[in-house]
Amino acid sequence: MLLGTYHMDNPGLDEFNLKADDVLAPKRQEELRNLTNRLADWRPDRIAVERPYERQEDVNSLYERFRSGERRYDRRPSDSTADFRELESDAEEEIRSEVVQVGFRLADELNHDEVYAIDAPMDISNEELEALEERDFQPESKMEYDVPDGNDVIRGCQERLVDSIVIEFLHWLNRSRSSRFNHELMFDKGIRWGEGDNFGGPRMLAAWYDRNVRTVHNLWRVVEVGDERALVLVGSGHVRVLRHLLDESPMFCPVSPLPYLPHEK
């Protein structure tokens, strides 16, 4: 099951960033408990999250602190020590992340010993693309077609999140149309940006696929003989490419999370 989500702790790492409200608020905590109860009905054998594969031990060190009760999902920690963020100042924010609030909470409810980090983060920019951007390159316009405005999309997401409970928002986020916007923007730039022997745009797209192919490979690394279900929790921008890659891979059979995300809107 591929579950796309928003970044609940506002890390600001994407080109367009939604500003989430505080998931530690009692209302959101109740909604998150309801969400994980619904997902638990699917009974995943493993839960994989969007954290670097090489930081598996750090992820589970932190998970164990929640599982043991040393840290609570509904309370900001009083210290800023054991965390797997590179910047110590970010430590108190990690509790707000979807990795903790959904991934850890669900694994805890299912009594899993570990949570699995499968991300392969990389910088997808390149010198050729940057050279085009520096001189304000304007690719030739050969036809008219619709491309979403990223800022407008984020504003719309922001308004919807404010007016929705978490399950409703994730249902909307994981619908086919909602998952397209990230790729429409990337492919519009990636296909058109280049000239002569400069393939900056196509190289950016290739790097994006490289990252996601490695993520699928890391998922293959963590599953075990006898596993039937793995829940993959990632930022919604990855959903479209990962769904395609998982569907093309003969060892995986991606299923939709929508039946487990009931909604009224």
Q: Is residue 255 part of a domain?
A: yes
Tell me whether residue 254 is in a domain. yes
Name the residue range of residue 101's domain: 2-260
83 or 87, higher pLDDT: 83
- Identify whether 265 is part of a domain: no
- pLDDT for res 4: 95
pLDDT tens track for 20-60 = 788 899 999 999 999 999 999 999 999 999 999 999 999 99
Are 97 and 9 in contact by the 8 Å Cβ rule? The answer is: yes
Domain for residue 102, yes or no?
yes
The pLDDT tens digits of the residues spanning 243-256 come to 999 999 999 999 99
Number of domains in the chain: 1
Question: At residue 109, what is the residue type?
Answer: E
Where are the alpha helices (H) located in 163-238, listed in sequence order?
Answer: 166-173, 181-192, 200-222
219 in a structural domain: yes
pLDDT at residue 80 above 60? no
Inform me whether the pLDDT recorded for 12 exceeds 60: no
Residue 70 is assigned to a structural domain of this protein: yes
Average pLDDT over residues 64-92: 65
- Averaged over 8-23, what is the pLDDT? 70
Spatial neighbors of 152 by CB under 8 A, at least 6 apart, are none
In the predicted structure, residue 87 carries a pLDDT above the cut 60: no
- Assess contact for 91 and 80: CB atoms under 8 A: yes
> What does the pLDDT average to over 140-161?
84
Q: Is position 204 within any domain?
A: yes
Task: Evaluate whether residue 212 is within a structural domain.
Answer: yes
